[in-house]
């Protein structure tokens, strides 16, 4: 090729590559298209709102529809006790919704779903309790509620016009009771979620089998039929739900008994499908609670990191200090919070609209008033945090990020390289913690990893066989199903391997870490072995990665007994964990070349280098709600 033509070709290639990799995100606009509402509180309900028809308004729930209509619903309690039972939680109640189409500033007239007196006149209970709404994938609104805590019915109704009109309620007992003959059952309170598959999921707590337990109820046919999921946790009751970044669900439960000084915490459990495979229910010490219901929702706005918001009374003793906590790692940590109301509190629920406006509905004085608070998600939790709004997907200054080193020494090489030297045989590890650099990287959007690494030549053999695990989503912690093998030539040169996790079904959600294991073809890494990690980059697909890291013109030489750095690699029992997936690609070896990279970058990324193992009855008394 002639020099001028070669220059033109290079310029054209650079322009095309830049166009390919330059994908603007909402975060780059510094929230210019998002809501910026300052924290505002209005009184949503007092007895005067309904001409003193109701004494209390309890268990408020809230959702935002696909059209950004805000809908609030709850228990309008007429009397302090039931006609047939001296129990304030079984008094006569009505269920109605109110709609707002102006961001919660004003609400329309009540739209009644069920009235306790009418149910009582039919021979049923007058207690219409624990409503929970779900916004379906197609915009249909699904509403579930109980009659007399499930004793006299579990009802379902839906709306196809954004809540203006509703179908005739249908009692679900005949299809549910064969699976679970409960003594009592109640939803949420609050709302449910719709998964990517269209599955509708709502938390329920029931007295069944001698104890209070938490379950989910679900529909896979847009509400035509409903079923119970597997038991999620024991000795828990009122439960909030939110979607996790990997497409699963997170449950956040109140303990049944009043928490004591040693355990005043909320209990969390999660599942990938929302109905089974629940993680162990465990207390989260960041979520203190005085034994009261709370609310939870997810924030899923393009260009921003996936977040989970949780609202409750942040107190161990009293129903006050209504606080919204924010998690950017699916509830593993709750690093940010916003105090809404220091003096008042009660049951609460939370929702967010498409512009990031957050709505918190909460009781005060056991439902004598209800307050609606609104604020900007961006301004409260994102603005000014460079890691959260970063679009970085290419990391080269790695040495300052090394942490949690074990049996290795980590030093800085040229241009920020991380030099990892094994100092003791055994478990040798080091983490590159990027949480302070970028939190907006998702395995869904960037499932291809480019890793530039070289050996220092001390290893045995002409090539070193390695393995990589991708950790993403709440439950995707170094799963063997997310394993990729690769090789690095033991020649002291930089080699970039491309790892494609896009075909792996569990490769979803916030990316937390890339775990790397280094070992030779015959023996484990030993004291004195060394590796240099100079670059980690993430791409939306293999085509983008190969454009930025083209194959070497001259293949790396290897002997006949060792795999070459560019040879196809397969997984076998001697070199990979049981159940490891076959690689989607053999990887590309090249010296890294600079390029602008595409998608927004993120949460808790931690490549870890580890030494490879050698080849060898009756219900309890009522409690306050």
For residues 402 and 314, membership in a common domain is answered with: no
Q: In the listed set 383, 416, 441, which residue is the last one of a domain according to the structure?
A: 383
User: What separation in angstroms does the CA of 91 have from each of 188, 373, 403, 591?
Assistant: 19, 28, 58, 73
For residues 179 and 287, membership in a common domain is answered with: yes
What number of H helices and E strands is found in the chain?
6, 39
For residues 76 and 225, membership in a common domain is answered with: yes
Kindly report the CATH number assigned to the domain that includes residue 48. 2.120.10.10
Kindly report the CATH number assigned to the domain that includes residue 427. 2.60.120.260
- What distance in Å separates the CA atoms of residue 226 and residue 244, rounded to the nearest whole number? 22
The confidence score (pLDDT) of residue 475 equals 73
The confidence score (pLDDT) of residue 480 equals 80
**Of 402-406, 420-424, 550-554, which one has max mean pLDDT?**
420-424
Two tokens at 117?
A: 């007196």
- Cα dihedral 26, 30, 32, 33, rounded to 10, equals 20
Query: Contact at 8 Å (CB) between 271 and 239?
Result: no
- What distance in Å separates the CA atoms of residue 294 and residue 52, rounded to the nearest whole number? 27
For residues 375 and 401, membership in a common domain is answered with: no
Residue 11 lies in a domain: no
Query: Contact at 8 Å (CB) between 227 and 217?
Result: yes
Intra-chain end-to-end CA distance of the chain, in Å? 80
Residue 601 lies in a domain: yes
Residue 31 lies in a domain: no
Residue that has been written with the tokens 């209070």 in this structure? 212
Two tokens at 546?
A: 């190969």
For residues 425 and 375, membership in a common domain is answered with: no
Binning pLDDT at 50, 70 and 90, where does residue 180 land?
Answer: confident
In terms of C-beta density within 10 A (0-12 exposed, 13-18 middle, 19 or more buried), how is residue 197 classed?
exposed
For residues 374 and 430, membership in a common domain is answered with: no
- Helix or strand or coil: residue 199? coil
Of 167-176, 189-198, 580-589, the poorest mean pLDDT is in 580-589
Residue 23 lies in a domain: no
Count other C-beta atoms under 10 Å from residue 257's C-beta. 13
Q: In the listed set 318, 351, 383, which residue is the last one of a domain according to the structure?
A: 383
Residue 205 lies in a domain: yes
Residues 600-621 pLDDT 10s? 333 333 444 333 333 333 444 4
Binning pLDDT at 50, 70 and 90, where does residue 446 land?
Answer: very high
The domain total for the chain is 2
Average pLDDT, the chain: 82
The confidence score (pLDDT) of residue 221 equals 98
Query: What is the residue range of 343's domain?
Result: 36-383
Q: What is the pTM of this model?
A: 0.84
- What distance in Å separates the CA atoms of residue 482 and residue 488, rounded to the nearest whole number? 20
Residues 123-166 pLDDT 10s? 999 999 999 999 999 999 999 999 999 999 999 999 999 999 99
255 CA to centre of own chain: 22
The confidence score (pLDDT) of residue 322 equals 98
pLDDT: which is higher, 407 or 322: 322
For residues 340 and 399, membership in a common domain is answered with: no
Percent of the chain past pLDDT 90, that is, above it, reads 55
Planar angle of CA 374, 248, 325, nearest 5 degrees: 30
- What distance in Å separates the CA atoms of residue 585 and residue 546, rounded to the nearest whole number? 11
Residue 42 lies in a domain: yes
For residues 309 and 172, membership in a common domain is answered with: yes
For residues 416 and 445, membership in a common domain is answered with: yes
Of 313-322, 367-376, 436-445, 565-574, the poorest mean pLDDT is in 565-574
Q: Is the pLDDT of residue 469 over 90?
A: no
- DSSP run (H or E) holding 3: helix 3-21
Tell me the mean pLDDT in the region 446-452: 94
Largest CA distance in the chain: 97
- What distance in Å separates the CA atoms of residue 537 and residue 539, rounded to the nearest whole number? 7
Q: Is the pLDDT of residue 559 over 80?
A: no
Give residues with Cβ within 8 angstroms of 282, minimum separation 6. Answer: 267, 268, 269
The confidence score (pLDDT) of residue 156 equals 98
Q: Is the pLDDT of residue 562 over 60?
A: no
Give residues with Cβ within 8 angstroms of 320, minimum separation 6. Answer: 313, 341, 342, 343, 344, 345
The confidence score (pLDDT) of residue 20 equals 35
Residue 126 lies in a domain: yes
3-state SS, 47-90, equals: HHHHCCCCCEEEEEEEEECCCCCEEEEEEEECCCCCCCCCCHHH
For residues 458 and 579, membership in a common domain is answered with: yes
pLDDT: which is higher, 262 or 2: 262
Residue 3 lies in a domain: no
For residues 376 and 311, membership in a common domain is answered with: yes
Strand pairing class (322-327; 265-271): unpaired
With residues binned 3-state (H G I as helix, E B as strand, rest as coil), the percentages for the chain, rounded to 5, are: 10, 40, 50
- DSSP run (H or E) holding 6: helix 3-21
Residues 23-81 pLDDT 10s? 334 444 445 689 999 999 999 999 999 999 999 999 999 999 999 999 999 999 997 65
- What distance in Å separates the CA atoms of residue 189 and residue 186, rounded to the nearest whole number? 8
The confidence score (pLDDT) of residue 147 equals 96
Planar angle of CA 280, 283, 286, nearest 5 degrees: 135
Strand pairing class (511-520; 608-611): parallel
Q: Is the pLDDT of residue 225 over 60?
A: yes
For residues 233 and 355, membership in a common domain is answered with: yes
Among residues 103, 136, 111, 33, which one has the least CA distance to residue 352?
103
- Cα dihedral 12, 16, 17, 23, rounded to 10, equals 150
Binning pLDDT at 50, 70 and 90, where does residue 2 land?
Answer: very low
Q: In the listed set 365, 383, 401, which residue is the last one of a domain according to the structure?
A: 383
Query: Contact at 8 Å (CB) between 463 and 515?
Result: no
């Amino acid at each position: 090729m002639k020099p001028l033509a070669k220059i033109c070709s290079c310029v054209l290639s650079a322009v095309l590559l830049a166009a390919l990799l330059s994908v603007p995100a909402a975060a780059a606009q510094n929230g210019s298209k998002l809501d910026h509402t300052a924290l505002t509180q209005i009184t949503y309900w007092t007895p005067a709102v309904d001409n003193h028809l109701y004494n209390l308004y309890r268990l408020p729930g809230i959702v935002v529809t696909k059209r950004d209509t805000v809908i609030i619903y709850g228990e309008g309690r007429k009397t302090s006790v039931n006609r047939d039972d001296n129990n304030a939680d079984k008094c006569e109640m009505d269920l109605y919704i109110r709609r707002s189409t102006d961001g919660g500033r004003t609400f329309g007239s009540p739209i009644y779903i069920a009235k306790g007196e009418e149910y009582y006149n039919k021979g049923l209970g007058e207690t219409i309790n624990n409503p929970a709404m779900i916004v379906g994938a197609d915009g249909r609104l699904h509403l579930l509620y109980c009659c007399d805590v499930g004793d006299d019915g579990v009802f379902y109704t839906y709306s196809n016009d954004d809540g203006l009109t509703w179908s005739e309620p249908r009692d679900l007992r005949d299809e549910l009771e064969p699976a679970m003959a409960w003594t009592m059952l109640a939803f949420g309170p609050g709302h449910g979620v719709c998964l990517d598959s269209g599955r509708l999921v709502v938390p329920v707590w029931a007295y069944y089998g001698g104890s209070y337990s938490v379950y989910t109820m679900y529909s896979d046919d847009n509400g035509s039929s409903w079923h119970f999921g597997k038991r999620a946790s024991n000795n828990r009751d009122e439960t909030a739900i939110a979607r996790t970044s990997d497409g699963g669900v997170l449950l956040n439960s109140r303990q049944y008994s009043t928490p004591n000084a040693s355990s005043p915490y909320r209990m969390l459990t999660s599942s990938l499908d929302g109905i089974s495979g629940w993680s162990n229910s465990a207390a989260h010490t960041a979520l203190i609670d005085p034994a009261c219901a709370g609310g939870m929702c997810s924030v899923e706005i393009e260009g921003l990191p996936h977040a989970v918001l949780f609202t409750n009374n942040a107190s161990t003793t009293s129903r006050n200090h209504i606080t919204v906590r924010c998690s950017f790692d699916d509830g593993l940590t709750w690093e940010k919070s916003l105090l809404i109301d220091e003096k008042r509190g009660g049951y609460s629920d939370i929702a967010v609209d498409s512009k990031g406006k957050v709505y918190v509905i909460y009781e005060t004085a056991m439902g004598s008033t209800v307050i609606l608070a609104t604020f900007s998600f961006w301004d409260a939790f994102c603005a000014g945090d460079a890691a959260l709004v970063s679009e970085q997907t290419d990391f080269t200054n790695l040495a300052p990020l090394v942490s949690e080193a074990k049996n290795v020494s980590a030093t800085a090489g040229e241009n920020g390289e991380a030099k990892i030297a094994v100092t003791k045989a055994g478990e040798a590890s080091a983490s590159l913690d990027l949480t302070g650099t970028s939190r907006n990287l998702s395995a869904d959007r960037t499932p291809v990893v480019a890793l530039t690494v070289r050996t220092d030549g001390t290893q045995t053999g002409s090539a070193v066989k390695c393995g990589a695990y991708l950790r993403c989503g709440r439950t995707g912690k170094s799963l063997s199903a997310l394993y990729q093998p690769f090789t690095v030539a033991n020649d002291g040169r930089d080699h970039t391997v491309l790892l494609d996790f896009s075909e792996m079904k569990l490769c979803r959600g916030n990316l937390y870490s890339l775990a790397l294991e280094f070992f030779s073809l015959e023996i484990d890494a030993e004291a004195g072995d060394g590796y240099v990690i100079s670059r980690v980059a993430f791409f939306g697909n293999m085509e983008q990665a190969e454009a930025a890291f083209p194959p070497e013109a001259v293949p790396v030489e290897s002997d006949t007994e060792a795999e070459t750095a560019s040879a196809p690699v397969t997984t076998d029992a001697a070199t990979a964990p049981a159940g490891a997936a076959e690689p989607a690609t053999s990887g590309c070896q090249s010296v890294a070349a600079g390029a602008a990279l595409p998608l927004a970058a993120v949460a808790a990324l931690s490549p870890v280098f580890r030494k490879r193992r050698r080849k060898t009855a009756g219900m309890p008394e009522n409690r306050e709600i």
